[in-house]
Amino acid sequence: MTLTAKTRLFAVLTILSNVAGNSFLTRGMQQLGGIGNSPVALIAALFHPWVALGVVLLIVWTLTHMALLSWADLSYVMPVTAISYVVTAFAGRLFLGENVSLARWIGIVLVTAGVTLVGRTAASSALLEGKPQ
């Protein structure tokens, strides 16, 4: 697998696990309602199915994000994974029937343009050394 293909695969895994993990976690916490600040209640919340699924996905997010940073620049990974804001907006429309306002569409276009711009740079500065650009 080439480095570009590996970078793309891990970027997609990082984005999807982040969006899905946060959505499940939010859904679970909303179902539980106010649980207060006691550590016991917080630990008990981890056994709620949606919360547990969210936490597992966020562990996947942590691992794929770390793997990605082992070869790619932070100033590449951070903006490229920002497409998760767009994925979240679309997920809200698809699964929750949320309305996407004009302001949101403008935001989606701007974020996508920014991510595309950064995505066209080389993922790793180390690879640029000694190579003509």
Contact residues toward other proteins (CB under 8 A) are 62-63, 65-67, 69-71, 73-79, 82, 85-86, 89, 101, 103-104, 106-118, 120-122, 125, 128
Smallest gap from residue 47 Cβ to other proteins (A): 18
Helix (H, G, I), strand (E, B) or coil at 132: coil
In the bound state with other proteins, the residue whose beta carbon lies nearer, of 70 and 97, is 70
∠ CA 122-123-125, rounded to 5°: 75
In the bound state with other proteins, the residue whose beta carbon lies nearer, of 30 and 97, is 30
Q: How far from 100 is each of 24, 92, 95, 104, CA to CA, in Å?
A: 21, 9, 13, 6
Smallest gap from residue 66 Cβ to other proteins (A): 6
Rg (CA), the chain: 18
Amino acid, res. 29: M
Smallest gap from residue 76 Cβ to other proteins (A): 7
Smallest gap from residue 49 Cβ to other proteins (A): 20
In the bound state with other proteins, the residue whose beta carbon lies nearer, of 53 and 114, is 114
The answer to whether the Cα torsion of 18, 20, 21, 24 is positive or negative is positive
